[in-house]
A and B are shown apart, each in its own frame.
Chain A
Amino acid sequence: MIGTHPLTPAAATLVACAAVALTVFTVPALPLPVAAVAWVMLGVAAGYSISGSP
């Protein structure tokens, strides 16, 4: 069973954004097309940013 986490929304966002940045900047070292990953990550950042809306 997955437990709960104590992160605040801002802290959770920081973790998510760090993951985005880490993925984008380390991906050239991985056997993945950097452009494809970058496009997905752009979408993730945009989608996440409006998900706190009422």
Chain B
Amino acid sequence: MAGAIGGIVSPVPPAPRIWLAAVTLAVMLGFELAGRPLNLPQNRRLVPQDVIRRSDVEGPLQFGFEMGTGVRTFMPTALPHALVVIVVLLGGLGPGILAGLGFGFGRALMPLARARHGDPAGWDRLLARQLRLVGRLCAAAFALTAITVVARQSGLM
């Protein structure tokens, strides 16, 4: 969806879009790396478990869609917002689809790592304590990758 919205800003010349993206991302990621994520709008609700039982196919699909896409969940970081910013300003439909696939894979990676941990309950306790560090590490990876994208778009790479 962000990729499709990116088409609206495509008439804007690349230079202003690159600068706007660079400044916006620098502010957002600066707060993330400092361990104080910006308090941006989000749907702070959980998908109710009874959604799954509503039907054999549609219920689990709705649960997976809402949870997987982050439509209805709690977001401890603002990195999904940063992802929308960079896709809208510098991406487009193709990059938006690729970023969406990566987002889904990233969403699945954490529960998979938890499931393969020797003590999943212990994992939950540790995660509650390390959530801020996890967010900072993800912000660092996001920043490195975003720098690559911005540098490439501006012809530096």
A residues apposed to B, CB below 8 Å: 2-10, 12-14, 16-17, 20-21, 24-25, 28, 34-36, 38-54
Q: Are B75 and A39 in contact (CB under 8 A)?
A: no
The interface residues of chain A lying within 8 Å CB-to-CB of B100 are 43
Q: Measured between alpha carbons, how far is A22 from B110 in the docked complex, in Å?
A: 19
Secondary structure at the B interface, as helix, strand, loop or mixed, is: helix
Residues of chain A within 8 A of B73, CB atoms compared: 50, 53
Complex partner residue of B152 from A3, A35, A48, A54, CB under 8 angstroms: A35
In the assembled complex, the Cα of A49 lies from the Cα of B107 at a distance in Å of: 8
**Structural contact, B148 and A24, CB atoms closer than 8 A:** yes
A38 to chain B minimum Cβ distance, whole angstroms, is 5
B61 within 8 A of A: no
Besides A46-B82, A53-B74, 11 other A-B contacts (C-beta < 8 A): A5-B113, A9-B130, A13-B138, A38-B145, A39-B91, A39-B102, A44-B105, A47-B107, A50-B74, A51-B110, A52-B134
Say yes or no: A24-B135 contact (C-beta < 8 A), given A10-B130, A48-B107.
Answer: no
Question: Least Cβ distance of B153 to chain A in Å?
Answer: 8
Q: State how many angstroms separate the Cβ of B123 from the closest Cβ of chain A.
A: 6
Q: Across the interface, name the chain B residue whose C-beta is closest to A6.
A: B118
The 8 A-B residue pairs whose C-beta atoms are closest, nearest first, are A43-B102, A47-B106, A51-B110, A49-B138, A48-B106, A17-B141, A43-B103, A40-B102
Question: A40 touches which one: B77, B80, B101, B116 (CB < 8 A)?
Answer: B101
In the assembled complex, B88 has its CB within 8 A of some CB on chain A: no
- A48 and B138 contact, Cβ closer than 8 Å, known pairs A35-B152, A43-B102: yes
Taking CB atoms, residues of chain B closer than 8 Å to A3 are 116
B8 in contact (CB, < 8 A): no
B116 neighbours in A (Cβ, 8 Å)? 2-5
Supposing A20-B141, A39-B91, A44-B105 touch, asked if A34 and B152 sit within 8 A by C-beta, the answer is yes
Residues of B within 8 A of A12 (CB): 113
Residues of chain A with a CB closer than 8 A to B7's CB: none
